[in-house]
Chains A and B, each alone.
Chain A
Amino acid sequence: MSKVYFSTWRGEQISNVGKAEDAWEESAYNLPAQYDDHRESKAFIGWDGVALFDPDVDVVRLATEYAAQYQVYSEACGRCAPGRWGGRILYDLLDKIARGEGTYDDVAHLKEVSKSMQLTSKCEIGKTVPNPLMDLMEHFKDEFDRCIDEQVPSKHYDTEVNYIAKITAPCTDACPAHVDIPGYIEGVRDLRFDESLRATRQTMPLAHTCGRVCPHPCEDACRRTNLDAPIAIMELKRLGADYETDHGFGFFHPAEAKPKGDKKVAVIGAGPAGLTTAYYLALEGVHVDVFEELPVLGGEVAVGVPEYRMPIDKYNQDIEAVRDLGVNFITNSRVSADMMRQYEKDYDAVMVATGTRISKKVRCSNERPELDGYWSAIEMLDQVNLFEKYGIGEEVDLTGKTVVCVGGGFTSMDVVRCSIRANAKKVYMIYRRDEKTIIRNTTYEEYHEAVEEGVEFLFHSAVNNINDEEDVIKSLLIDKFELVPDPDGGRAQLVKIEGESYTIDSDFLIPAVSQSADLDLLPQEWELEMTSWGTIKTNGVHYMTSRKGIFASGDCEYGPMTIVNAVGQAKRAASVMARYMETGEITLTDDEIMEDHLRKMRVYDKKEKVTGWLPGIPREQSEVLEVDERKDNNKEVNYGFTQEQGLSEAERCMRCYYIAMIAQ
């Protein structure tokens, strides 16, 4: 709910023109009336309408400036006739009216060109730019007419006003790393895979990785869903990344790295968050040392995600792209509190990106980590991956063994599928909720592939007790639950079904319910603020901890979450850190402030009716290895798109770019 003077946002029709301020009707939307903590907005204008917070806004000028922003955008594009010429005409004619030289013929031309743009532009930006302009010309016709009739400039034509614009798209907005998704899809469509990869790497250095193992929240915000089915956004990312490796090119960076300056940053942890921090700081010319506890780089994606899902040679390509910018990696280096104290002195800033590497307990009785057969998911996956990917340590061989994993998320899926590949006799997954929820928490493909490979899922179940003989696990007592709807309409409760508990034989119990952060490295006396769930607290906007110069991002900040979330946080943090080291201030760019406003407003509107596209064009499905070809080895399960599939999928993308603008 926002206080507005006037709004047509998302189809609402609020006009408080002529009303006393205390009688103003409020907008139903969370509009950015407050720009940041010390500045207010006068107006917000975007693809789906316009909102005025201040009666004194010069609407003619506002329209002109919005058209001007489109011009600026189209200078980075110009890929279709209506957009290229139309944008220029809109601006020229609006400015002519605003400076007091317009005619009614100009208004007619504006309407004609606007209609053409709305109907035939290549992307949504061209189709939607005329929308708020038409709203303003309709609702504030008097002001436009006055400029024409009296041949005078609009009321604040010569006043200095700050206009801040931002290009977004529903998918980009929903992506925690705000990847320019329409941009990289356009690269595929243009058969310029180098350009595609550069577009991705602007905000996402781990293109190989997130082209394979991202849970793709973007696809839930794909406008194509309103028409038929979302674009296979994630898989299209892989095409650009594979092009780089297939032809043995160097690395396609989004920009040339600035020459190295005198600023130094220590990054603790070489996982996605650490790598991302290092990548974007290195592009800014910062010297970066990355300290990694393990003998290998990559964090959980390297030692957690199995080879069949994320081949290490592909991930290494992402890591090498970071190294290519001159980032210095130090492995086998577990950072202690003493070292942190030293780093604080030696470096201009420190990023803690240590992830969450302690498996939480399942909370059953007789749960003792020293039991033989009690094996944390993190340790199990470490051992599997270190051996399979790097030949370090011992092979995991579960021949003849029964493995029980308690979980329901990606990690537990990795555990059970790795157990199958380690030749276990029987593999169970125990999950408190149902099939639908496990699919929602992971992916449809992941769940079905696990079932195909022979994993038995026990839903609505939980371990009650571990039965051991002389500290060796022998079996587990399992309770059955049912969902009982809350009579008050709240969330359904899981209630144990008495008398239905049963026992299963088991050699291993692998808890994969969640992970917590191992933060021994933080000096006690720093008294860093923590969240209630034991991670490092920041405000989730600039990622500085309660101690100046110490930043945190990724799972150790957020709790166990996705790669793309870690990347998004670290990318933002790197930007803040770069400025912090220069000025000592924690600041956001206008672009970042706008990004956060838009995220709060949600760019994607699932109720919007899509026009101008033919529905019913099927989403492409990439081929996967047959179950017998994959279940006893580490071959990559998903072949990825063929070129024809990639191109036809890319053609489905509607390029839903939008411009949002705030007047201050």
Chain B
Amino acid sequence: MSKMIQFTIDGRQVTAAKGESILQVARREGIYIPTMCYLAKTSPSASCRMCVVEAEGVDGFVLSCNTPPTEGIAITSDSQELYSERQSIMKMYNVNHPLQCGVCDKSGECDLQNKTLDFGLDEQTFAVADQRRDSKVWGVLSYDPHLCIMCEKCTSVCNEVVGSEALFIRPGGYKSEIDNTFSKCIQCGECISVCPVGAMASTDFEYSSNVWELEKVPSACAHCSSACNLTYEKKEKGTATLGAESIYRVTNEDDFDALCGAGRFGYDFENRVSEKDEDAFAIAVSAFENADTIRFNSMISNEEALLLQRLKERFGYRLINKEAKKYQEFLNAFTSVSGSSLYSADLESIRKSDYVVTIGSAVSTDNPMVRFALSVAVNRRKSYMAYMHPIEDEMLRNLVTQYVKYEVGSEEGVLAMLCEMIVDESAKETHKAFFDDLDIGYVSGESNVGEEELELLKKKLVRRDDPVLVIGADLINHSNAVNIAKMAGMIERHSAFSVMIIPPETNSLGVSLICDLDSEEGKSAVGYNVAADFVLSALGDGEGDLDMPALSQQEGTLTNIDKRVVPMNAALAYHGYELNDIANALGMKSEHVIDYTVQLPQESGFSQVRFDDLPNHYTDVGEEVRGYRLAPMVSETSATVDAISDIREFNGSVIYRCDPLMQFNPFTDKAHQIIDEALLRGSEQFAVAARIKDGERVRFTVGEDVYERVFKVDERLKGTVALNPSFDSSENYESYRYNQVKIERV
């Protein structure tokens, strides 16, 4: 089946796998074939025609980007003929292209500029009648059609990788341009990052700097558990604040990997502190000495998490991170049935899957990279995508093949129905009591998931080889989370599915593997980015009692959704104290916080690698070489799944803890380009039921928190659940994301 094809490029013997193009093989082998439109992460658009090659015995040139090699074919990647044809294509690209490179953002990293020079074109001998066209601003992105070479990278990426289908080609030959269905645009800026010229530009960055003046600091995004590769680009800002650097923009390895809008535009969340505040520091040290509890959240590096764990071991602090604790319990229960310390799926397995079920996650906003991966799976493999969630997501319409709506609260039952459908016979013996007790009729009735919906789901599973189950925070935070986790473990062990349990916050996975977390608080607590009696805060602006560096100002690692330990580098200097200073004052002895990297617990799968030895790059064919991957630990499976509990009904006004697209936390909220407000958003139907109107200010109570928010009708939403954001709070949540509330007008 997967027969390798032998052929030659420029006389060198090479091998292609099924599905590989001549260009891909050439790149893998380090043979240069020029392109203007080729983007490794999407299927080729074949518009530039630069990648033509010669094939022995074939008249004319063959396009290498979309042609697979045939057995024994001799390919020539460069010749005088090819050079001159490529040169004439470059001549055409330059017809009427504006020559004001000096004021173009792209100058210095422009493909057109580079290849024009590469092909020795120092004059333009012919032109055609010029035309006037209007530039556009679409939120964070600006488009200048004069500069556009119609390579189609932006439309490919928007369609295939992001899955928005917002950008499209407005054909018109010489007048062709790109247009945007703005209502579908999620403002991720992927189009900006892939644009080879200055046509798609960042509205904010435009005309702010020459690119060669910017210093690049490769790092990892701190906003969600994908911890994507990114590069902070910075320089000193103006002369007034000599020496003070600012991040101007974020770029990424756009040929192979993607980044969402929060990562790309939410970079200026640093905490600017002019000097060390010795008084505050002394108070902080004594606060630690007097406290018996440390509260923190998962916006923390692995190293600092380990540091806290060491403080606990040495001084007996109770470590409170409710959200990570919940995740830890979920993972442990999962392991007790699956037999492995980690879930097996990663983003790549979603991209390569041909059948995906997501349950209990508002994927679009919970983790944009999961959404991107789903888009790739649906586009490349026509993956069957079942989206199981109480709230239909209009933005996923073009990706979802089957939407399964279940009642709020019925997650345990719904997953039990899935188990019944997909696990093998041995699971049904091992967990016999569970299955014997399972009353599908009851679950179907209470969850409102019809048995015929499950039948369809099952029918579509036929002939699928790589199914994935993606589990979101609604299950992790469910009141019966432990049993749900066991069911997930059963699916992992006893079915063809690989399972992913999305870590809800940036480093939930790392914290849960590193820290021995407590459930009960003591009498006096110090908080790290969380409210407490004494607060260390990276948010600045007097938010805490002692300033701390933000994650963009720290060295350290994060453990991401792919179970990969990835390095962060400090993009900006920090002049105050950091957690390590306090720890040292308390008697620990680490010069730098990254001294802890090598000490990360091997029993949890971490490797003994020093921070400075962690790689952070991609290979020529796009293989990610960032940090290292955790090793899963095999364990005994002793637990069995319990019978499911009765399903609780949620009536009246129900709200769902769910952030807007680009907002994840108070740090994204600090970024000047991210402007989503903290509104309660609901459908027209919700408004009618709750008797509130668009634009009204409302009050409601969730647990002990009283919220006052402006209510907004969102036409894309349906149903009776409204979305209540949490990004404006540092609190970390372990509670179920849905709440029945009483909403009153203020």
Chain B neighbourhood of A120, CB < 8 A: 49, 52, 61, 85, 89
A247 and B58: CB pair below 8 A? no
B58 and A87: CB pair below 8 A? no
Give Cα distance in the complex from A642 to B92, angstroms.
Answer: 38
A192 and B159: CB pair below 8 A? yes
Chain B neighbourhood of A611, CB < 8 A: 58-60
Say whether, besides A74-B174, A247-B397, A81 and B47 are in contact (CB < 8 Å): yes
A-B contact pairs, 7 of them (CB 8 A): A75-B173, A79-B171, A80-B49, A81-B49, A109-B125, A612-B62, A614-B62
Nearest-neighbor residue (CB-CB) of B67 within chain A:
A614
Q: Is B66 an interface residue (CB 8 A)?
A: yes
Give Cα distance in the complex from A192 to B156, angstroms.
Answer: 10
Q: Is A85 an interface residue (CB 8 A)?
A: yes
The size of the chain B interface, using a CB distance under 8 A, is 58
A651 and B382: CB pair below 8 A? no
B67 and A651: CB pair below 8 A? yes
Give Cα distance in the complex from A79 to B61, angstroms.
Answer: 18
B159 and A84: CB pair below 8 A? no
Min CB gap A196→B, angstroms? 13
A122 and B47: CB pair below 8 A? yes
Q: Is B644 an interface residue (CB 8 A)?
A: no
A191 and B159: CB pair below 8 A? yes
B235-250: CB near A (< 8 Å → 1, else 0) gives 0000000000000000
Chain B neighbourhood of A247, CB < 8 A: 397-401
Nearest-neighbor residue (CB-CB) of A246 within chain B:
B401
- Which of A78, A89, A612 is the one whose CB lies under 8 Å from B150? A78
B174 and A87: CB pair below 8 A? yes
Say whether, besides A246-B401, A247-B398, A639-B463, A612 and B59 are in contact (CB < 8 Å): yes
Q: Which residues of A contact B (CB under 8 A)?
A: 71, 73-89, 92-93, 109, 112-113, 115-116, 119-122, 189-192, 239, 246-247, 249, 609, 611-617, 623, 639, 642-644, 646-648, 651
Nearest-neighbor residue (CB-CB) of B377 within chain A:
A643
Give Cα distance in the complex from A648 to B463, angstroms.
Answer: 20
Q: B interface, by DSSP: helix, strand, loop or mixed?
A: loop
Most buried by B among A78, A611, A639: A78
Say whether, besides A81-B47, A89-B126, A615-B70, A76 and B59 are in contact (CB < 8 Å): no
Q: Is B88 an interface residue (CB 8 A)?
A: yes
Give Cα distance in the complex from A92 to B126, angstroms.
Answer: 10
Chain A neighbourhood of B58, CB < 8 A: 611-615
A78 and B89: CB pair below 8 A? no
Give Cα distance in the complex from A121 to B85, angstroms.
Answer: 11
Nearest-neighbor residue (CB-CB) of A242 within chain B:
B382
B395-411: CB near A (< 8 Å → 1, else 0) gives 00111110000000000
Chain A neighbourhood of B60, CB < 8 A: 119, 611-613
- Which of B89, B173, B176, B397 is the one whose CB lies under 8 Å from A116? B89
Min CB gap B335→A, angstroms? 34
Give Cα distance in the complex from A249 to B380, angstroms.
Answer: 20
- Which of A71, A122, A614 is the one whose CB lies under 8 Å from B70? A614
Nearest-neighbor residue (CB-CB) of B400 within chain A:
A247
A80 and B46: CB pair below 8 A? yes
Give Cα distance in the complex from A383 to B76, angstroms.
Answer: 62
Most buried by A among B50, B55, B59, B95: B95
- Which of B71, B159, B382, B400 is the one whose CB lies under 8 Å from A190? B159
Q: Is B569 an interface residue (CB 8 A)?
A: no
Nearest-neighbor residue (CB-CB) of B21 within chain A:
A651
Nearest-neighbor residue (CB-CB) of B49 within chain A:
A120
Say whether, besides A109-B125, A116-B88, A617-B67, A76 and B171 are in contact (CB < 8 Å): yes
B85 and A116: CB pair below 8 A? yes
Give Cα distance in the complex from A112 to B85, angstroms.
Answer: 10
Q: Is B547 an interface residue (CB 8 A)?
A: no
Q: Is B160 an interface residue (CB 8 A)?
A: yes
- Which of B45, B159, B174, B398 is the one whose CB lies under 8 Å from A71? B174
A109 and B92: CB pair below 8 A? no
Chain A neighbourhood of B173, CB < 8 A: 71, 73-78, 83-84, 87-88
B37-60: CB near A (< 8 Å → 1, else 0) gives 000000101111110100100111
Chain A neighbourhood of B71, CB < 8 A: 616
Most buried by B among A76, A81, A121: A81
Chain A neighbourhood of B354, CB < 8 A: 642
Total A-B residue contacts, Cβ distance less than 8 Å: 158
Give Cα distance in the complex from A504 to B399, angstroms.
Answer: 57
Chain B neighbourhood of A246, CB < 8 A: 401
4 further interface pairs, Cβ-Cβ under 8 Å (given A190-B159, A648-B19)? A85-B174, A115-B88, A120-B61, A191-B159
Chain B neighbourhood of A647, CB < 8 A: 43, 380
Give Cα distance in the complex from A116 to B61, angstroms.
Answer: 11
B49 and A82: CB pair below 8 A? yes
B663-698: CB near A (< 8 Å → 1, else 0) gives 000000000000000000000000000000000000
Give Cα distance in the complex from A74 to B43, angstroms.
Answer: 23
- Which of B70, B126, B382 is the one whose CB lies under 8 Å from A617? B70
Give Cα distance in the complex from A190 to B48, angstroms.
Answer: 15
Chain B neighbourhood of A190, CB < 8 A: 45, 156, 159
> What 9 pairs between A and B have smallest CB-CB spacing?
A612-B60, A74-B173, A643-B382, A611-B60, A78-B176, A85-B92, A611-B59, A75-B173, A616-B70
Q: Is B73 an interface residue (CB 8 A)?
A: yes
Nearest-neighbor residue (CB-CB) of A85 within chain B:
B92
Give Cα distance in the complex from A617 to B171, angstroms.
Answer: 30
Q: List B447-472 residues whose CB lies under 8 Å from chain A.
A: 463
Give Cα distance in the complex from A85 to B49, angstroms.
Answer: 13
Chain B neighbourhood of A639, CB < 8 A: 463
Give Cα distance in the complex from A190 to B155, angstroms.
Answer: 9
- Which of A82, A116, A249, A644 is the one whose CB lies under 8 Å from B19? A644
Most buried by A among B47, B61, B71, B401: B47
Q: Is B36 an interface residue (CB 8 A)?
A: yes
Q: Is B104 an interface residue (CB 8 A)?
A: no
Chain B neighbourhood of A616, CB < 8 A: 70-71, 73
Nearest-neighbor residue (CB-CB) of A77 within chain B:
B171
Give Cα distance in the complex from A406 to B52, angstroms.
Answer: 55
Say whether, besides A189-B43, A614-B58, A642-B381, A81 and B67 are in contact (CB < 8 Å): no
B174 and A88: CB pair below 8 A? yes
Q: Is B551 an interface residue (CB 8 A)?
A: no
Q: Is B1 an interface residue (CB 8 A)?
A: no
Give Cα distance in the complex from A81 to B172, angstroms.
Answer: 13
Q: Is B99 an interface residue (CB 8 A)?
A: no
Chain A neighbourhood of B152, CB < 8 A: 79
- Which of B59, B85, B93 is the one whose CB lies under 8 Å from A85? B93
Give Cα distance in the complex from A92 to B130, angstroms.
Answer: 11
Min CB gap B719→A, angstroms? 16
Give Cα distance in the complex from A642 to B18, angstroms.
Answer: 15
Chain B neighbourhood of A80, CB < 8 A: 46-49
B89 and A644: CB pair below 8 A? no
B62 and A613: CB pair below 8 A? yes
A92 and B19: CB pair below 8 A? no
Give Cα distance in the complex from A500 to B319, angstroms.
Answer: 96
Nearest-neighbor residue (CB-CB) of B463 within chain A:
A639
- Which of A73, A112, A642 is the one whose CB lies under 8 Å from B88? A112
Chain A neighbourhood of B174, CB < 8 A: 71, 74-75, 78, 84-85, 87-88
Nearest-neighbor residue (CB-CB) of B64 within chain A:
A614
Chain B neighbourhood of A642, CB < 8 A: 354, 381-382
Give Cα distance in the complex from A623 to B463, angstroms.
Answer: 10
Q: Is B592 an interface residue (CB 8 A)?
A: no
Chain B neighbourhood of A92, CB < 8 A: 128-129
Nearest-neighbor residue (CB-CB) of A73 within chain B:
B173
Give Cα distance in the complex from A483 to B700, angstroms.
Answer: 90
Nearest-neighbor residue (CB-CB) of B57 within chain A:
A615
Q: Is B379 an interface residue (CB 8 A)?
A: yes
Give Cα distance in the complex from A440 to B521, angstroms.
Answer: 81
Chain A neighbourhood of B605, CB < 8 A: none
Chain B neighbourhood of A644, CB < 8 A: 19, 380-381
- Which of B36, B61, B399 is the one whose CB lies under 8 Å from A612? B61
- Which of A78, A122, A648 is the one whose CB lies under 8 Å from B171? A78
